Structure 1
Amino acid sequence: MLAPPSPPLRSAPGLRVPGPREEHACEGGAREPYWPRLLPLLAALACVTRLPSFRGPLWSPDEGYLAVQARMLAHGGELYETVVDRKPPLVPWLYAGSFALFGDDSLLPVKLLAVAAQLLTAVLLVSLARRRWGDGAGRTAGVLYLLISIGLNPEDAQAAAFEVFMLPCTAAAMWCADRRRWGAAGAAVACAFLAKQTGGAVLLPVAWLLWRGGAPRRDAWRLTAGLGAPVLAAALLTTPSGFLFWTVTGSGAYASFTGSELHVLVRGLVNAAVLAAACAGIVPPVVRVLRIARTGAAELWLWLAGSAAAVLLGFHFFGHYYLQLMPPLALLAAAALQILPRERTVRAVVVSGCACVVFLAWGLLAPRPELAHAARLAQTVRAHTGPGDRVLFWGMHPEAYWLAGRAPASRYLTAGFLTNYSGGRNGPQVGEKYAVEGAWPVFREELRRHPPALVVDDSRGKPYAPDRVPSLRRVLAVGYEAVARVEGAVVYARLPSVRQQA
């Protein structure tokens, strides 16, 4: 067991010394029932805070992308070959497993799994804080985490997407490292990476705990083996070259900062401000204790720093990236509040609860114009095609395939792969020559072998519109005619003469 943190300075003004019932203790030595009382509260909080996620069929294009991937895998698709994305395989496999068990017409099972993931994250944080600072700190960490866990735009916080399933893996990595279970810690880091690449940032505090504990060389090997085995297995279960390309080496243009720098910077600052508002109850005590006392939690600061670096990586600053900051923030808040007077804990919980209510109302009441637009497009596509027809949505909303119940004509489910339009980038680096390496020859061959019955141009004035993409413009000019318009989107059907020749 690692040495407990140094006690706070008794002479520091405004601080308190934890009482006997709050002293560091082994979890088995609690005098009163702890988990039977706390778990129902955490479960209720997890359910309440995730209520908006059950509003409507889905929340974000990421959920839509995962749903379409899972359907393609169920029909014989191969990940990183005929089904591609710039993400590791764990969450697509999770969706595919859910669809295999419960059907692919609803994301309800996946949304329930997201609730369970948030609850598991909170439980692991409780255990970490309780081991270090006592029962009260454990309760504080778990409750505060769930209260701030929805403190972003609902599209980012409520989606059952990559980050939500990555968070319990990062918390598990810290939990195992705190108990010197290095093989399990490495496996948890690997699972975090396999959920999303930036989850691997938790390796920084885990490695710090290994080094600080003076662990022998065999423990370092255990950590390495635990980390390497799941990643190697995932690569072999897919295809090693495809796994390496799509998860590591093939995203250079996507991760570039060039193009729409001001737009991206504003997005980052806005999302940081939204998160700061959600954390208004916990930031002041953390800053106060940082100034006047030691918390003995260097690994938590490393966890926060590594998570912040992960948010910066890729220079997109999407709101869901910021979810990775929440577990270390909750633990740092628990570390600070167990030193400060008890009324500060009450104030932190109340302020965080009020902020949570605001974000909860936002999620329950906010309009969903893009989802409504995708639903109308899907309805139009269903009216013009049969269940066996392939279609191509030329846009950034892959959920339309899932809503329409039609198979994609290409493995590239968004125009971003073929133009580098990603996350609102509208600068000079958008066009065919900035596509994923080798994508256009594959795309042309897909359209030649299986021409889509419909092509839906959903660019709506964006820089990837067909008039700025010569290859797609030629395809539409030769073989398709416009048959409908839906709120700025143009629906093209194959010409009868082309269908007869095919």
Structure 2
Amino acid sequence: MRLLVKYEGLIILLAATVILRLPSLFEPYWYGDEQIYLAISQGVRKGLVLYRDITDYPNKPPLIYLLAAAAGSVFWFKFMLLMWNAMHVVVVNLLLKKLWGEKKWLVWGGSGAFILLTSLPMLEGNIANGEMFMSMPVTLAMLLLWKAQYSAAGLMLALGFLFKIPVAADIAAAGLIFWVCRHSFKGIISFGLGLAVPIAVVVGIWYGMGVAPIDLVKNMLGSSGYVTNYPLAPRLILVTGLSLGVYLMRKKLGQELVWAGLWLMWALLGATLSGRPYPHYFIQIVVPVIVTVGAMLTGKEKRLKVIVGGIGLALVAVTLVTLKVKPYPVMAYYANFGKWVAGQRVFSDYVASFDRRMPRNYELAYYLKTHTGPGERIYIWGNQPDVYVMAERLPVGKLVTSFHVEDLQAYAATMEWLNHDPPAYVVMMADEPRGFEELKYWVDQYYVETDTIGEAKVYKKL
């Protein structure tokens, strides 16, 4: 009983997290990124080598795929996310207590704000994306860095990086924080080893599976091509200049705001690498924003702190407006779930509310699963990786969507894969805008149309 009383506040926070995330456990197989992770990881579960035998584009580092492989289904993937986010709540609470333990309103208010921003669907916190997984070890790394546990901090940043590349910006922030606030040569060596060893181990493991280190690095840095859509140099110059300003004012600003300000600016750079307006990218800046607000409101020189912290927050606001980032609706999400639970909405209508194609995809997956054996492969020309997952069947070739084929200009490679290992069934989506005339001609020669399910034409091998 004493334990319950001692941790009463944290228990309430965790209970709120679970309640807000409960509807996410019952979402259908609808979100593209999740289904790509699950489709690729299905191949990993069946013995394929990630990056060599089945791959993504742009690729992410391996941990998101390995986590999806451990999950195996959207329910367990979402459940893992719930548990991961609950751990993140604990880490954020510990961080805020370490910084401002005597100011309970700041500790608990900041923790509550974190739960709302990452558990509600406004920033796609309900989706098992890389940002949701990478941000927890980054927060833990910053806490460990503050506590001068350098090796462990480096290890956590490596863990975050092995989920998604934008953590490189957080690593840069940590390096600057170390330089500005912690002048310890022995510490920087420990930090560097903690950062480098896990990444080197991953490179070694994949090398042992036949993926050359240079190819692995190219795969892991696949998303770097997105940067060309939004010039990096001007942003890098701006962030570097602001970092210099923070450094010059470090004595007046205090260690907390120097630390928070550097983290916020570099995390914002990481969140905007692609210049795309997807809300989940901005999960990366949630904790730095909360810590920056806290640092503005505490200690001496409050006027200067409010000005400097305000510049950082204004930069966030300008970025969100410039990129036209639109949060996802919240009330409609929970109302939809409530109607389904209350029996006011049938399952087909419930899944269609996420994506109108869902009822068709469920039906198509059931058809393919019942008309093929577990070892047979299928091929879908379209962007329905969820069908592979629900049907529990692998695609022919390395790619799981038509836009991967187009982005990589892998049309010839795809035909080579199909000729080498013809699938039991081919599905041509009539609503797929990308053309592939050679595939249509090949299907007409070697397959016969057996069914039409919505916009999906199903062909069986002769």
TM range (shorter): 0.7 to 0.9
Deviation at 1:359, TM superposition (A): 6.9
Change (3 A) 1:356 1:65: closer
For 1:371 and 1:303, locate their aligned partners in 2 and report how far apart those are by CA, in whole Å.
40
Alignment correspondent of 1:223: 191
Mapping for residues 3-152 of structure 1, pairs under 5 Å: 36-85=7-56, 86-98=59-71, 104=72, 106-135=73-102, 136=104, 137-152=106-121
Mapping for residues 321-336 of structure 1, pairs under 5 Å: 321-336=281-296
SS at match of 2:422: coil
Deviation at 1:213, TM superposition (A): 2.2
Mapping for residues 154-165 of structure 1, pairs under 5 Å: 156-165=124-133
1:243 and 2:216 equivalent?
yes
Over the residues paired in the alignment, what is the CA RMSD in angstroms? 3.0
Deviation at 1:197, TM superposition (A): 1.2
Alignment correspondent of 1:319: 279
Change (3 A) 1:298 1:358: farther
Alignment correspondent of 1:184: 152
Maintained 8 Å contact 2:120/2:126: no
Maintained 8 Å contact 1:129/1:138: yes
For 2:31 and 2:390, locate their aligned partners in 1 and report how far apart those are by CA, in whole Å.
13
For 1:34 and 1:325, locate their aligned partners in 2 and report how far apart those are by CA, in whole Å.
32
Alignment correspondent of 2:378: 391
Alignment correspondent of 1:374: 361
Q: 2:405 aligns with which of 418, 426, 437?
A: 418
1:232 and 2:200 equivalent?
yes
Q: Amino acid of the residue matched to residue 409 of structure 1? A: V
Deviation at 1:55, TM superposition (A): 1.5
Deviation at 1:71, TM superposition (A): 2.2
SS at match of 1:484: strand
Deviation at 1:441, TM superposition (A): 4.9
Maintained 8 Å contact 1:389/1:452: yes
Deviation at 1:124, TM superposition (A): 1.6
Alignment correspondent of 1:457: 428
For 2:298 and 2:76, locate their aligned partners in 1 and report how far apart those are by CA, in whole Å.
38
Deviation at 1:171, TM superposition (A): 0.6
Q: Amino acid of the residue matched to residue 280 of structure 2? A: H
Change (3 A) 1:109 1:373: same
Maintained 8 Å contact 2:226/2:273: no
SS at match of 1:180: coil
Alignment correspondent of 2:270: 310
Change (3 A) 1:371 1:307: farther
Task: Give the length in aligned residue pairs.
Answer: 389
Deviation at 1:35, TM superposition (A): 5.6
Q: 1:170 aligns with which of 133, 138, 142?
A: 138
Normalised TM-score (structure 2): 0.76
Deviation at 1:191, TM superposition (A): 0.7
Alignment correspondent of 1:28: none
For 1:153 and 1:481, locate their aligned partners in 2 and report how far apart those are by CA, in whole Å.
45
Alignment correspondent of 2:452: 485
Alignment correspondent of 2:389: 402
Alignment correspondent of 1:301: 261
SS at match of 2:52: coil
Maintained 8 Å contact 1:152/1:359: no
Q: Amino acid of the residue matched to residue 90 of structure 1? A: L
- Measured against aligned partners, the alpha-carbon deviations of 1:68-117 in whole angstroms (never above 9, x if no partner) come to 2232112211111112120111122223334xxxxx4x443332221121
Alignment correspondent of 1:5: none
For 1:300 and 1:456, locate their aligned partners in 2 and report how far apart those are by CA, in whole Å.
51
Alignment correspondent of 1:446: 417
Change (3 A) 1:441 1:214: same
Compare the two structures and name the one with the higher helix fraction: 2
Deviation at 1:360, TM superposition (A): 5.6
Deviates more, 1:58-67 or 1:394-403: 58-67
Q: Percent identity?
A: 23
Change (3 A) 1:45 1:206: same
SS at match of 2:457: strand
Change (3 A) 1:488 1:181: same
Maintained 8 Å contact 1:124/1:171: yes
For 2:111 and 2:332, locate their aligned partners in 1 and report how far apart those are by CA, in whole Å.
18
SS at match of 1:79: coil
Q: Which ranges of 4 or more aligned residues in structure 1 deviate by more than 6 Å?
A: none
Deviation at 1:255, TM superposition (A): 5.0
Deviation at 1:459, TM superposition (A): 5.9
Normalised TM-score (structure 1): 0.70
Deviation at 1:418, TM superposition (A): 1.1
- Measured against aligned partners, the alpha-carbon deviations of 1:328-348 in whole angstroms (never above 9, x if no partner) come to 2232344456689xxxxxxxx
For 2:194 and 2:69, locate their aligned partners in 1 and report how far apart those are by CA, in whole Å.
25
Deviation at 1:188, TM superposition (A): 1.0
Deviates more, 1:188-197 or 1:66-75: 66-75
SS at match of 2:431: coil
Maintained 8 Å contact 2:169/2:266: yes
- Measured against aligned partners, the alpha-carbon deviations of 1:258-278 in whole angstroms (never above 9, x if no partner) come to 9xxxxxxxxxxxxxxxxxxxx
Change (3 A) 1:370 1:335: farther
- Measured against aligned partners, the alpha-carbon deviations of 1:341-372 in whole angstroms (never above 9, x if no partner) come to xxxxxxxxxxxxxx996376267367122433
Q: Amino acid of the residue matched to residue 229 of structure 2? A: F
For 1:52 and 1:401, locate their aligned partners in 2 and report how far apart those are by CA, in whole Å.
24
Change (3 A) 1:405 1:49: same
Deviation at 1:143, TM superposition (A): 1.4
Maintained 8 Å contact 2:264/2:292: no
Q: 2:229 aligns with which of 257, 282, 301?
A: 257
